[in-house]
Amino acid sequence: MVTRTYLGKPVPKVDALAKVTGAAQYGADFTLPGMLYARMLLSPHAHARIKRLDVSKALALEGALAVVTGDDVPPPPPPGVPEEPSGQSLSMGDLRKLVLAKGRVMFQGHCVAAVAAVTTEVAEQAVSLIEVEYEPLPAVFDPEEAMRPGAVLLHPDLFTSGLGGKATTPSNVATHLELGRGDVAKGFAQADVVVERSFRTQRVHQGYIEPDSETAMVYPDGRIVVWATTQGTFALRDQIAPLLKVPKGNIKIIPMEVGGAFGAKSYARYSPVIILLSKKSGRPVRLTLGRDQVLRDKGAPATVSTVKVGVKRDGTITAIQAKFIFSAGAYPGSPLAGGAMAGLGPYKTPNLKVDAYDVVTNLHRIEAYRAPGAPQANFAIECTMDEVAEKLGIDPLEFRSRNLVQEGDLMPNDTPFNRVGYREVLERVKSHPAWASPLGGPNRGRGLAVGFWRGGAGGQYSCTLMVNGDGSFSLLVGTVDLSGTRTGLAQMVAEEFSVPVEAVWLDTADTGEIAYTDESSGSRVTYAMSIALQQAVQDVMGQLKERAAAKLKVSAQDIEYRERKFSAKGAPDRAVTLQELATESVRGAGSIMGHGSTTRMQPAPVFAAHVADVEMDPETGRARLLRFTSFQDVGFAVNPPMVEATMQGGASQGIGWALSEEVMFDEKGGVRNPNLLDYRIPTAMDLPMLGTEIIEVPASGGPYGVRGTGEAPIVPPLAAVANAVTHATGVRVRELPLSPERVFWAKRQAGGSQPR
Amino acid sequence: MVTRTYLGKPVPKVDALAKVTGAAQYGADFTLPGMLYARMLLSPHAHARIKRLDVSKALALEGALAVVTGDDVPPPPPPGVPEEPSGQSLSMGDLRKLVLAKGRVMFQGHCVAAVAAVTTEVAEQAVSLIEVEYEPLPAVFDPEEAMRPGAVLLHPDLFTSGLGGKATTPSNVATHLELGRGDVAKGFAQADVVVERSFRTQRVHQGYIEPDSETAMVYPDGRIVVWATTQGTFALRDQIAPLLKVPKGNIKIIPMEVGGAFGAKSYARYSPVIILLSKKSGRPVRLTLGRDQVLRDKGAPATVSTVKVGVKRDGTITAIQAKFIFSAGAYPGSPLAGGAMAGLGPYKTPNLKVDAYDVVTNLHRIEAYRAPGAPQANFAIECTMDEVAEKLGIDPLEFRSRNLVQEGDLMPNDTPFNRVGYREVLERVKSHPAWASPLGGPNRGRGLAVGFWRGGAGGQYSCTLMVNGDGSFSLLVGTVDLSGTRTGLAQMVAEEFSVPVEAVWLDTADTGEIAYTDESSGSRVTYAMSIALQQAVQDVMGQLKERAAAKLKVSAQDIEYRERKFSAKGAPDRAVTLQELATESVRGAGSIMGHGSTTRMQPAPVFAAHVADVEMDPETGRARLLRFTSFQDVGFAVNPPMVEATMQGGASQGIGWALSEEVMFDEKGGVRNPNLLDYRIPTAMDLPMLGTEIIEVPASGGPYGVRGTGEAPIVPPLAAVANAVTHATGVRVRELPLSPERVFWAKRQAGGSQPR
């Protein structure tokens, strides 16, 4: 049993005070002398040819110092030369078309031109002086419609790619992903019961509170600096460089604090525009979006899903077939694999077939949202599984327990699971009052859903650890902090060197100060950085032990470290303190720095189960959440309250998706609710205290057994809530959100079936 | 013979374009939202008791958000607890008294209070509302007067320290430094000729063009960030921390570009004041000095020197005795050792005695200025040596050649010289037209002086080197660039890895991003960093070779690197490129970072000789410089034009000191000429093209034989010019500057001796 002082303890967030007092610097807090303000002219059409674009009046306006259009974006590479990979779901070629429209606008809100001016007011006036003549084109918004033969074709050069090889005629289906094993037809034939159901989800928004905000400066020698609210400094740099045809080293990305991102702040959505404006004006340029523009961009894809499950009477699954259609907006990049993997991961089945489609429509382009693709796919799977269990008369928890995956079983992509804590999660649910206690009133229902995130694999992360002369440590990391990772990493250094957390000074590096580091995403930061940091710790510890050994005249292998003291093994009185070595390190003995970097990591899969209790208003169809409990295997909780907050945050986002969140489009592809009153994120008033149950089954990889906690919590809530509503009403609503209106009409249609 | 591509070549400064276009960010270019402006109330008295200090009216002014006085500075440690060393010539205890006066003002310009307000105008108005009642005290300005018994005593707790032990009664002499060897009395007795002369120099100013400018923010959690124009980020931090009783790690110093420093921007002169103002106001606070305040602070000490030299007829020196009195201003810290070492270093003598005195007076406190103490001491020595040579009828160059020090000879502090290029310097002078050609006209004279700087020893410097995915390199250094060191370091990386200089991206780290690094001073940066960087290069190269070895299935010792290719020894076709390894390093193989740090370094002494030709206006006594040539052993010129510029810069500063620069004090200790019209720095109109002759005798330490070039160029010009003026006029003026007025009256007093 390891006794720990800082790890696994409720250490307060190291940046809490700076954040709550407004001292932390977010994107829009940054200014430079002479800075200009950018504003964009957005397309009012979902699909149109730009016949004429005249910016001369805007440019003539006093105080408007630069205007850029699609003509200012460097052209794509010549035919035959491949585009550089963007590292993102949006390809470099599509990013080029997305940032500034050229010739054609593909969705309402597509940027046609941008202005940099001395004030926002002048910039807005200049935007209003830009003259555009459009020739409207037919548009398509529904993904199923877009898939039909003869549909309006968005991109004449888009051919369906996928496991089945290249297509020969252009299509709105960018990718058809096929996964599977065995023979589903055979599996269904072996089944006693087969259930097939279809589901729909709508576009939802990541709902980050901090609007996108970046400042760019292009210096006279061509060097570019961007002060960005971003999940990944190197990711951003590595998109901007090929897009603008600038060497990567010529670009420095300085990370600002991030006020929520959830996957949507990893790509170079706006930086290229302000860089081009800065280059033209010779001035720093900042763009800060208004809330309306935030909600008119990005979001997670709407989906249309069909799930077919075959089971034996005893509950054994014989086959699963699923079809997921993701609506990407105007440029492809839906999270097909993430959806398929996370949706189907929890179930062991010999026969599996998944077809997932990435479809383009004339809507603004989606972006990654926490556990991309997983909540939508999971919603379809977990609702169907509940129906299957009900048909079999098996308790939903018991049904899942009978089909659960364990170490050695296959993921949907046929790679085997390493150590997982899924069984432990279900066991905890079974014995927990959230599942075991009575509902305690009429019109109430209880729903269960399980969820999964693969976690951790892929990506590269770097850090530098330094010993200061006063015996404190400086830790420089390449990862931006989205969720409290600073605190967790400081705890690790504190633990390893037996120093207080306050003696660990953590800085987030810009792209010139640390080696390549991938973005903060995919529940990877704490897991990956625990590996990188362990290397750095060992590097520093090794150097310290060598110096101690030289002073104590023993070999470094014979040095033990305990409580800030290096001593010779078996002779604790022959010792030198950390403080002595630290002082000497800055007084001639030479500084001590170590570095660490992850190499190929193994996955650290995360399983979760959520239980929701709802009470329905029988007249209006409104669901009120009474109780909600998240159970999750987090491997090792570095900082339990922060893990709980992450679980609660994911749950509340999933609950919003289930009950109230929806980007509403009008018939012309425009957003009808681009404000936080009409785009309804749950508030504290809408939610009970969200319960959390931490299960700790150490991951196979990494020094502490940490698993990433970020994604899994948003996966099960959609189905957990939907299953609870069905439990309460006896009616199955297969389209989200479960608004009072939808539930009301579904009950009416079902012919007055009574609440149970 | 090593063939080099980038080292030793005239590579353009990597930051030239940013600097000349105004894109580089200096101290005053930095702003933060809500930033306040600081202004100071300065003492009008050279010495006075503060009887009453009332800031209430200032605080009541709208827009004046904070006022600080000496009461806001934390008190010194309790009796018996020593002050932490400041690492600077100004002690921590004196720094505490200097930044904000408490109870007593010690010089005109001593800061009594400071205000932070929303605009500079409001700040100035608030300052004018502060009420102070002073009780003037007697003051002393002349250092010789201050040394006399019964003189006004500045500090009742100041006792003379020095090699002779502690004194028992307080004194204005802070330190009496004694150096020497042999027996000078015996030496003078052996001499055929003894010459003894006295000299005076006045306070001069470092003359940096960028006024002192810093911004500080104290965050609610107590963390402090200072954006500073400073020579040393860690040096600044390590003074602020004990002064304000804050942990070092709680302070981050972010370096801004430095527009000239020359030794005067290493200490925490103003940061504590704005930090205290920020703490009180909760806002960021910036202080930018006006030129008048710049010229009323710091500067190099005035001196009174006596030199006595004994020689044989053949020119052999038998004894040297010197006495140097340095006038430090109100708080001690004169560069006694630097002056004694640099002044007497070039001469071999068996009998040596130096007495140097650090004396306080009621003037503003001096600060380090390029080769601190050396020009003043050298002026006295080199003028005396010319008089000795003249008395002996030996050519001045020949006289110095007969007494020169070589490897193995002793420095004044009795440590032996390692490899030096002094003889090579004198040989180059001898054959050069600057020395050998005729003067070519009447009223002209030629002067020679030699100079020396110990160079390089001491200090600790750190860097991190990273390989980027595109095969470029990022270099993070702890040293701020004063003189082009960025370019030199980039050249080193380019050379070692055969990549263009443009592929080396250099960043200056703040105190959280790199291990401890001493300030940029003492001609150390390029020399010291060449050692640290070499370690980092070897670290990175070793990691790359190991990866190449693994791919080529040979051992790492059998890998050769040439032209961006790693190949197996003897099998050049079995190779892997730098680009391949770089790409893999960011795609899963793990990032490559290396670090380096200097440990105790050996000195890299620098010798210089300067030759000046002047033409005198026989009526006015004005000296016009016709020709000026600097000869210097630089070890290895990493970037010859930059070395030349450094030599020219030092020469022009020394020429200013010789001919025109002087901070003029009135009888009350106030500065009479605090502007650049009356404080007369030479302009391009005053100077001929300054000639440079680079001699390269590699230093014993370091990978390239580099010697620091910064200090030596300012050492000989004072005497070179003075010797030229004497040569032209036949009159010896032993007080600087050699203004027309001084030369005119000296000639008049000498009774009409004719120009030669």
DSSP assignment letter at B221: T
B223, B585, B593 ranked by CB distance to A595: nearest = B593
Q: Is A672 exposed, middle or buried (0-12, 13-18, 19+ CB in 10 A)?
A: exposed
Is the CB of A18 less than 8 angstroms away from the CB of B220?
A: yes
Tell whether ipTM is more than 0.90.
no
User: pLDDT tens across B362-403, in order?
Assistant: 999 999 999 999 999 999 999 999 999 999 999 999 999 999
Cβ neighbours, 10 Å, residue B573? 6
- Residue showing tokens 């075991």: A436
pLDDT of residue A33: 84
- Give exposure, A315-343, as e/b (b: 16+ Cβ within 10 Å): bbbbbbbbbbbbbbbbbbbbbbbbbbbbb
Q: Which of B501, B646, B530 is nearest to B11 (CA)?
A: B501
Rounded to an integer, the average pLDDT of A8-25 is: 91
Instruction: Indicate the angle between helix axes A336-344 and A374-392, nearest 10 degrees.
Output: 30
CATH code for the domain defined by A303-456+602-749: 3.30.365.10
Q: What is the share, in percent, of chain A residues with pLDDT greater than 70?
A: 98
HSE of B279, CA atoms in CB hemisphere, 13 A: 16
User: Which of B593, B595, B597, B602 to substitute to test the interface with A, most A CBs within 10 Å?
Assistant: B593
pLDDT of residue B221: 85
> How many degrees, rounded to 5, is the angle at CA A559 between CA A557 and CA A563?
140
Contacts of B415 (CB under 8 A, 6+ apart): none
Q: Which of B725, B655, B709, B520 is nearest to B204 (CA)?
A: B655
Residue A149 forms contact with B (CB below 8 Å): no
DSSP B282-351: SS-EEEE--HHHHHTS--BPEEEEEEEEEE-TTS-EEEEEEEEEEEEESS----HHHHHHHHHTTB--S-
Contacts of B151 (CB under 8 A, 6+ apart): B140, B145, B172
User: pLDDT tens across A100-137, in order?
Assistant: 999 999 999 999 999 999 999 999 999 999 999 999 99
pLDDT of residue A573: 87
Flag whether pLDDT at A552 surpasses 90. yes
B33, B505, B590 ranked by CB distance to A31: nearest = B33
Rounded to an integer, the average pLDDT of A46-69 is: 98
B219, B513, B516 ranked by CB distance to A509: nearest = B513
Rounded to an integer, the average pLDDT of B711-721 is: 97
pLDDT of residue A329: 98
Range in B1-5, B654-658, B729-733 with the lowest mean pLDDT: B1-5
Is the CB of A21 less than 8 angstroms away from the CB of B593?
A: no
What is the rounded distance in angstroms from the CA atom of residue A665 to the CA atom of residue B469? Answer: 42
Please tell me whether the peptide bond between B372 and the residue prior to it is cis, using omega within 30 degrees of 0: no
Same fold flag, A31-137+210-259+265-297 and A303-456+602-749? no
Flag whether pLDDT at B524 surpasses 90. no
Domain ranges of chain B: 31-137+210-259+265-297, 303-456+602-749, 458-598
DSSP A680-715: ----GGG-PPEEEEEE----SSSSS-----SSGGGS
**A positions 22-61 inside 8 Å of B (CB):** 23, 29, 31-33
H/E element, B539: helix B525-552
B594, closest residue in chain A (CA to CA): A595
pLDDT of residue A608: 98
Cβ neighbours, 10 Å, residue B62? 10
Flag whether pLDDT at B756 surpasses 50. no
CATH code for the domain defined by B458-598: 3.30.365.10
Is the CB of A21 less than 8 angstroms away from the CB of B462?
A: no
Residue A223 forms contact with B (CB below 8 Å): yes
What is the rounded distance in angstroms from the CA atom of residue B628 to the CA atom of residue B107? Answer: 38
What is the rounded distance in angstroms from the CA atom of residue A592 to the CA atom of residue A73? Answer: 45
pLDDT of residue A504: 96
Is the CB of B220 less than 8 angstroms away from the CB of A17?
A: yes
A531, closest residue in chain B (CA to CA): B590
What is the rounded distance in angstroms from the CA atom of residue A454 to the CA atom of residue A193? Answer: 30
pLDDT of residue B168: 83
What is the rounded distance in angstroms from the CA atom of residue B339 to the CA atom of residue A258? Answer: 54
pLDDT of residue B615: 98
Distance from CA of B379 to the nearest CA of A (A): 34
User: Which of B586, B592, B601 to substitute to test the interface with A, most A CBs within 10 Å?
Assistant: B586
Rounded to an integer, the average pLDDT of B104-130 is: 98
User: pLDDT tens across B329-369, in order?
Assistant: 999 999 999 898 888 999 999 999 999 999 999 999 999 99
Is the CB of B247 less than 8 angstroms away from the CB of A472?
A: yes
In which band, very low, low, confident or very high, does the pLDDT at B1 lie, cut at 50, 70 and 90? low
In which band, very low, low, confident or very high, does the pLDDT at A164 lie, cut at 50, 70 and 90? low
Range in A80-89, B327-336, B476-485 with the lowest mean pLDDT: A80-89
C-alpha distances out from residue B227 to A405, B118, B464, B745, Å = 55, 19, 22, 49
Distance from CA of A90 to the nearest CA of B (A): 19
User: pLDDT tens across A292-327, in order?
Assistant: 999 999 999 999 999 999 999 999 999 999 999 999
User: pLDDT tens across A429-473, in order?
Assistant: 999 999 999 999 999 999 999 999 988 667 899 999 999 999 999
Topology of domain B31-137+210-259+265-297 in CATH is Aldehyde Oxidoreductase; domain 3 (3.90.1170)
In which band, very low, low, confident or very high, does the pLDDT at A741 lie, cut at 50, 70 and 90? very high
Q: What is the share, in percent, of chain B residues with pLDDT greater than 70?
A: 98
pLDDT of residue A752: 56
Range in A495-499, B301-305, B452-456 with the lowest mean pLDDT: B452-456
In which band, very low, low, confident or very high, does the pLDDT at A489 lie, cut at 50, 70 and 90? very high
pLDDT of residue B119: 98
- Residues in B closer than 8 angstroms to A509, CB to CB, are 513
In which band, very low, low, confident or very high, does the pLDDT at A514 lie, cut at 50, 70 and 90? very high
User: pLDDT tens across A655-704, in order?
Assistant: 999 999 999 999 999 999 999 999 999 999 999 999 999 999 999 988 99
Is the CB of B18 less than 8 angstroms away from the CB of A220?
A: yes
What is the rounded distance in angstroms from the CA atom of residue A717 to the CA atom of residue A669? Answer: 28
pLDDT of residue B755: 44
pLDDT of residue B419: 95
CB pairs under 8 A between A and B: 168
User: pLDDT tens across A699-735, in order?
Assistant: 998 899 999 999 999 999 999 999 999 999 999 999 9
**B positions 510-529 inside 8 Å of A (CB):** 510-517
What is the rounded distance in angstroms from the CA atom of residue A165 to the CA atom of residue A324? Answer: 19
Flag whether pLDDT at B752 surpasses 60. no
In which band, very low, low, confident or very high, does the pLDDT at A755 lie, cut at 50, 70 and 90? very low
What sign does the dihedral B617-B618-B623-B624 (CA atoms) show? positive
What is the rounded distance in angstroms from the CA atom of residue B300 to the CA atom of residue B292? Answer: 17
Alpha helices in A38-89 (DSSP H): 56-60
User: What are the backbone dihedrals phi and psi of residue B332, each rounded to the nearest 5 degrees, phi first?
Assistant: -70, 175
Determine the 3-state secondary structure of A351 from DSSP.
Answer: coil
pLDDT of residue A162: 74
pLDDT of residue A756: 43
The pLDDT mean for chain B works out to 95
Structure tokens at A29: 């807090």
pLDDT of residue B583: 94
Distance from CA of B4 to the nearest CA of A (A): 24
Flag whether pLDDT at B163 surpasses 70. no
Distance from CA of A186 to the nearest CA of B (A): 40
Rounded to an integer, the average pLDDT of A90-99 is: 96
In which band, very low, low, confident or very high, does the pLDDT at A751 lie, cut at 50, 70 and 90? confident
Residue A587 forms contact with B (CB below 8 Å): yes
Q: What is the share, in percent, of chain A residues with pLDDT greater than 90?
A: 89
- Residues in A closer than 8 angstroms to B21, CB to CB, are 219-220
What is the rounded distance in angstroms from the CA atom of residue A59 to the CA atom of residue A46? Answer: 27
Is the CB of A593 less than 8 angstroms away from the CB of B472?
A: no
Q: What is the share, in percent, of chain B residues with pLDDT greater than 90?
A: 89
